[in-house]
Chains A and B, each alone.
Chain A
Amino acid sequence: MVETIVLVGNPNVGKSVIFGRLTGTYAVVSNYPGTTVDISRGAMTLAGRRYEVIDTPGTDALLPSSEDEQVTRDVIMRVRPAAVIQVADAKNLRRALLLTFELIECGVPLILALNMHDEAVSRGIRIDAPRLENILGVPVIATIGITGEGIPELKKRLPHARHGNFNATYPPEIERLLTETAAGFGAPAPCARAAAAMLVSGDRTVFRYVAGALPDGFIGRLERKVADFVRPPRLLIFETKNMYAAQITGEVITSQGTPAESRLARLGALCMRPFPGYLIVLAVLFIMYEFVGVFAAGTLVNLLENHLFGRYVIPLAGTLINGAIPSEIVREFLMGPYGLVSMALTYAAAIVLPVVAAFFLFFGLLEDSGYLPRLSVMLDRLFRTFGLNGKAVLPMVLGLGCGTMAALGTRILETRKERLLALLLLSLTIPCSAQLGIILGLLAGLSWQAGLIWFVSITGSLVAVGAAANRVLPGHRSPFILEIPPLRRPDFGNVVTKVKMRLVWYVREAVPLFALGTAILFFSDKLHMLSVLERVARPVVVSAMGLPAQVTPTFILGFLRRDYGAAGLFVMAQDGLLDARQVVVSAVAITLFIPCVAQCFVVIREQGMKIAIALFAFVIIYAIGYSSLLNMVLKTFHPLILAPLGRG
């Protein structure tokens, strides 16, 4: 059996970089607290033995307060790893120690890595590692994840990971309570003392690990005992640990004053002041628009689609296929109007990929520099109007890249209500980068008023639906508490690896759907299903929304991939099938319309079938209703609003 090594640590301590150093393959490395939602696994060979290495989400305590932390505890208590590597921020030893105590209490073989050692030294913090090792009874190694310093030493001493001999002694009444609780488990449970501490702290999920061993009425008796305490045991336990942590920190750390604030630190602070913070937000958004919307979706797509693909790839593929394949139908399947090469490959490689790659590159830079949490600070108040807090900035901005990835990212939000609200707004109003790029291109062919109508429609829907849903949905917004990491110069290699990982994920997830979508369209067209569908949807599409019947397949495509559908509209507009009003209405409709199938799957997985169906039904009805209304308004005031007509 392959033995397991688990990486544990507070958020934002460089755990994922250490993981990459150990396994050779990177996880998504991030500067934003709590991004590693899914655990990453990798393999490592040490002295001829193979180990599985698991990277867990950042956690402050084994007593979980979020789903992320739940995952971390589950890995530790269920997997019973051969060794746990705790990665600590050397600048913040006291906070790390609180987690160390819990890990020691759990009885896992432990090794402590004091990471970002260089940053601590530059701030005049020196840690006496041998002394700390002596106190805790586990190996302590200073590391710098980014440069790899200390990693060989960490690997070398990994087999010496030990249980640790540090024991926190709680006040006598707590000790008694813990002993009684642990004794009540009936059978000896793994990490009995730790489990008892979690139980008396009010945690009920720890049962999973001691379940079956609990006699009847155990919880009731425990709750009565806990209620007899004047101050909650949870607090007493925490205070004891904190006292030990402060004591040990004082013993092993020598601080030599604080050096002058660096320029980056000053910039980091400025990013959070109203002035110039909001200007910086606007500048960042503008640069993103220029880079992703203008450069990637305009220049780059034009270059790839019209020149590379239009002049060389497609004609060449056409010649090859015509020469090699005798069957007419197969040829059409590959090169026809709904062809696998002519449509799916062109869309995927020439239109969507450059836009998404540009977005991920930009997002990666924002993430690695530590700007994203600062963006959260600036936008917290705005997000509050629709029941979310600044933390939701991360999934929402990520949604401008890929909605599916963003929907997965909603897990970092703390309450059920927040997760549901974020999923709803992501599904309804946030266009992904490829879709956004194409829509901007589509609208750029018209007047600026057209762009404004689209923008106001989408942001208006975001705020109105968000605020309304916030009132209707039960539950609470969690308080906004967010750790702000220092602003750093992004490590380019790190960003590139991240972009690469995200792109690989995206291509794997998107390209098969592109191919599937094209195949469905091809067969529907051959079986004359498209015309049937167009006829069925006619009353809504033609009468209410005022669009030509041919856009119906585009909306179906939009369900398979949002960007794919928008690209279809783009081609129709190029061919002169849509007038100005129709371009605006269809652009609004496809943005609001139901997200792609992959994102729908995530919504179902996160919220369950019932809620997901209600959410989709709302999105469809809202999209159709709003577009029809917009159509009516535009029809009436058409000459006024969309004055310079006929350019589309």
Chain B
Amino acid sequence: MKTKGMIDIEEALGILRGFIEKNKNTRTLVEETLSKNVAGGILSELVNGGFAVLGTDTVTLTPKGEEIARDVTRRHRLAERLLADVIELPEGEIDPAACEFEHILSPEVTDAICTLLGHPRMCPHGSRIPPGPCCGQAQASTASIVTSLEQVEAGEKVRVAYIVTSEHPHLHKLLSIGLVPGTEITLHQKAPSYIIKAGETQIALDREVAAHIYVRRR
């Protein structure tokens, strides 16, 4: 069991990392947010513990802090995916629940969830999930409930879970063709191109595009 102090530090590091990702890690903003959402004076605790460094106007993470922050972020965002895609929690409840989850997941459980979900790259809000050791092996486990279209066999009927559009602005086109979450699609073939059918629309995709479409087996 983690101590309250440790949980606060993890929480604060996770928030700080999010700010750095968005380039909003100004000192005043970070300080204000942390003391409001975590605990007063937590920023100086981070600095004293060697997790963060104060710049002239910014706050950044030390390597030690980054390591913990990265793990927290990974756990939080994987939890979000799990809650959104498998448990199908309503949108408003995902984030608070994920905040609890992130502190209780062990590394083994985290990797198991990651595998179950097909090693997702993005959280439901479109932020990048830091990859873990399991993603490097990229073992396509048949136990995955949500998996990328790349791993689906030809002839299977699946439902679109989500599409990772943030890496590729062109993929927005998939949305306007009508390939939105919940759409039922049939994968007709995988070579030389992927051919899927959604309703009366037949679409050809290359493998990279298919890798960005995550689907749920029925």
Contact = CB atoms under 8 A, between A and B. Distances in A.
Contacts of A188: none
A272 B193 contact: yes
Interface string A234-271: 11001100100000000000000000000000000100
B126 A231 contact: yes
A206 to B, nearest CB: 16
Interface in B147-201: 165, 168-178, 180, 188-189, 191-193, 195, 199-201
A272 B189 contact: yes
Interface string A81-102: 0000000010110110010000
A637 interface: no
Interface string A282-326: 000000000000000000000000000000000000000000000
A376 interface: yes
A481 B174 contact: yes
A232 interface: yes
A65 B170 contact: yes
B170 A478 contact: yes
Contacts of B175: 238, 242
Given A272-B204, A377-B192, A94 B173 contact: no
B209 A480 contact: yes
The size class of the interface chain B forms with chain A is 20 to 34
Contact of A92 (B125, B199, B205, B209): B199
Contacts of B206: 380, 384, 389-390, 479-480
Interface string A389-419: 1100000000000000000000000100000
A330 interface: no
Interface string B114-129: 0000000000111000
A94 B180 CA distance: 12
Contacts of A89: 200
A530 interface: no
Contacts of A239: 180
A65 B125 contact: no
Contact of B200 (A92, A231, A273): A92
B204 A390 contact: yes
A230 B125 contact: yes
A481 B202 contact: no
A277 B200 contact: no
B176 A272 contact: no
Nearest to B127: A230
Interface string A105-116: 000000000000
Contacts, number: 108
The size class of the interface chain A forms with chain B is 35 or more
Contacts of B165: 235
Contacts of B95: 230
B22 interface: yes
B203 interface: yes
B201 A483 contact: yes
A485 B22 CA distance: 42
A479 B207 CA distance: 9
Nearest to A483: B203
Contacts of B192: 272, 274, 277, 377-378, 380-381
Nearest to B95: A230
Contact of A483 (B170, B177, B193): B177
Contact of A94 (B124, B170, B178): B178
A376 B204 contact: yes
A377 B207 CA distance: 12
Given A227-B22, A483-B177, A377 B208 contact: no
Contact of A482 (B124, B170, B178, B203): B203
Nearest to B205: A481
B204 A481 contact: yes
A447 B151 CA distance: 50
A272 B170 contact: no
A484 interface: yes
**Which of A65, A373, A390, A481 has the most C-beta atoms of chain B within 10 angstroms of its own C-beta?**
A481
A201 to B, nearest CB: 9
Contact of A91 (B170, B177, B178, B200): B200
Contacts of B203: 481-484
A10 B180 CA distance: 17
A486 B199 CA distance: 13
Interface string A462-486: 0000000000000000111111111
A467 B12 CA distance: 49
A480 B191 contact: no
A126 interface: no
Nearest to B182: A246
A447 to B, nearest CB: 35
A502 to B, nearest CB: 26
Nearest to A374: B204
Contacts of A484: 195, 202-204
A233 to B, nearest CB: 12
Contacts of B204: 272, 373, 376-377, 380, 390, 480-484
A239 B171 CA distance: 15
A123 interface: yes
Given A479-B170, A481-B174, A483-B201, A273 B209 contact: no
Nearest to A478: B170
A65 B172 contact: yes
A231 B84 CA distance: 14
Contacts of B208: 479
Interface in A346-394: 373, 376-378, 380-381, 384, 389-390
The 9 A-B pairs at the shortest CB distance, nearest first, are namely: A60-B176, A480-B206, A91-B200, A484-B202, A479-B209, A377-B193, A95-B178, A482-B204, A377-B204
16 contacts: A60-B173, A65-B176, A92-B200, A123-B200, A230-B95, A234-B172, A373-B204, A377-B192, A377-B193, A378-B192, A479-B168, A479-B209, A481-B174, A481-B177, A484-B195, A484-B202
Interface of B: 22, 95, 124-126, 165, 168-178, 180, 188-189, 191-193, 195, 199-206, 208-209
